[in-house]
Homo-oligomer: A and B are copies of this chain.
Amino acid sequence: MKTHTILMPLDMHLHLRDAVMLETVAPLTAYSYSGAIIMPNLVPPVTTLEDVKAYKQRVMAAVPNDNFEPYMTIFYKNYDKAFLESIASEIVAIKLYPAGITTNSEGGVSSFDIEEMRPTLEAMSELEIPLCVHGETDGFVMDREAEFMPVYELLAKNFPKLKIIMEHITTKAAVDMLDKYENLYATITVHHLLLTLDDVIGGMMMPHHFCKPIAKRPEDLDALLTVALSAHPKVMFGSDSAPHPQHAKESCGCAAGVFTAPISLQLLCEIFEQYDKLDNLQAFVSDNAQNIYGICPEFKEVTLEKRTFVVPEKYGSVVPMYAGEAIAWAIESID
């Protein structure tokens, strides 16, 4: 039977939430990944040293195994340099949300005034703290990411030593930005390597494929596949796996987010094998992230096997992507 081994897989964009939800979902990522960047958009968001330490402890307490590292982040606000110095060793990045753009982002940035942001972003540059950005405007849903590109350009030009991560990119426009500025990087989710808007509303309406940014056009999917499958060195895997309880997904006014944590590595194998690019998966799902963030994860060796795996209908209260459907790869062993 065909197998494929990944060393130290990393999920560079993960939502774990808190309390019972944290306890449900954290073990699933910790099982198959060496580490993950934990997003700070709790209610209220993670913004202080105490918040970070306490949230990290809660994450660790929810994880049964010790070979998983939660890479912590704080929610972007304008911070002073003394604060950033005090927190630099506890976090790997700061996450910027435009205000109100996605789940629990109400306290985010409402205008990109570079001079107001300059002290914070210059301190981050000096302290080598990357800036992770949810890059969407409040415009028409299909244009939000493309419309945000000038903000990325403004940030990249004004802060050339700041590592800027375009999170969960979904468009050819964002892919095209990657080689334009040395300090721009990107994460890509697994669902954005599989879906277009057709899979959300093209046939029936599919709430479990509904996320922000929304899946875009076929030509956008092609552009994302091209950089991911070639393991472009500025691109990393970040699942953006986002758990919501079933009732919040399957009701009127369904919440945005696709839950892929327990199946993301298997789906990546399926995609990379389908395009005969399995050799590039190691870079996409670990090596690039290690280079970009300068992190050295604990050893973990995950072997996947090409055999049918039927995705469970639920994990706790959360319905995963492809619930009840067969996928082509399964996790065989973890050392």
Q: How far is the CB of A208 from chain B (nearest CB, A)?
A: 7
Q: Which residue of B lies closest to A203 (CB)?
A: B253
The complex is assembled from copies of this chain, and their number is: 2
In the complex, A295 has a CB within 8 A of chain B: no
Q: For A196, A201, A204, A218, which residue has the most chain B Cβ atoms within 10 angstroms?
A: A201
In the complex, A285 has a CB within 8 A of chain B: no
Kindly state the interface size class of chain A when it binds its partner. Answer: 20 to 34
Across-interface contacts of A256 in B (CB, < 8 A) = 204-205
- How far is A303 from B73 in the complex, measured between Cα atoms in Å? 60
Across-interface contacts of A207 in B (CB, < 8 A) = 205, 252, 254
Contact of A218 among B140, B197, B210, B252 (CB under 8 A): B140
Do A200 and B201 form a contact, CB below 8 Å, given A208-B252, A217-B142, A252-B250? yes
Contact of A217 among B140, B218, B255 (CB under 8 A): B140
Q: Among residues 237 to 256 in chain A, which have CB atoms less than 8 Å away from a CB atom of chain B?
A: 250-256
- Dominant SS among interface residues on chain A: loop
- How far is A217 from B144 in the complex, measured between Cα atoms in Å? 13
Q: Which residue of B lies closest to A219 (CB)?
A: B140
Contact of A206 among B140, B198, B253 (CB under 8 A): B253
In the complex, A202 has a CB within 8 A of chain B: yes
A205 touches B202 (CB 8 A): no
Do A140 and B197 form a contact, CB below 8 Å, given A250-B252, A251-B250? yes
Q: How far is the CB of A197 from chain B (nearest CB, A)?
A: 6
Q: How far is the CB of A103 from chain B (nearest CB, A)?
A: 10
Extra contacts, 19 of them, besides A140-B217, A205-B205, A250-B250 (Cβ < 8 A), are: A140-B196, A140-B197, A140-B202, A140-B218, A142-B197, A142-B217, A200-B201, A201-B201, A201-B210, A204-B253, A204-B255, A204-B256, A205-B207, A205-B210, A205-B253, A206-B253, A207-B254, A208-B252, A250-B251
- How far is A205 from B248 in the complex, measured between Cα atoms in Å? 11
- How far is A214 from B251 in the complex, measured between Cα atoms in Å? 20
In the complex, A141 has a CB within 8 A of chain B: yes
Q: Among residues 107 to 139 in chain A, which have CB atoms less than 8 Å away from a CB atom of chain B?
A: none
A–B Cβ pairs within 8 angstroms, 14 of them: A140-B196, A140-B197, A140-B202, A140-B217, A141-B201, A142-B197, A142-B217, A201-B210, A204-B256, A205-B205, A206-B252, A206-B253, A207-B254, A208-B252
- How far is A206 from B206 in the complex, measured between Cα atoms in Å? 11
Across-interface contacts of A140 in B (CB, < 8 A) = 196-198, 202, 217-218
Across-interface contacts of A197 in B (CB, < 8 A) = 140-142
- How far is A218 from B198 in the complex, measured between Cα atoms in Å? 19
Q: How far is the CB of A237 from chain B (nearest CB, A)?
A: 25
Q: How far is the CB of A147 from chain B (nearest CB, A)?
A: 13
A256-283 interface code vs B (CB 8 A; 1 in, 0 out): 1000000000000000000000000000
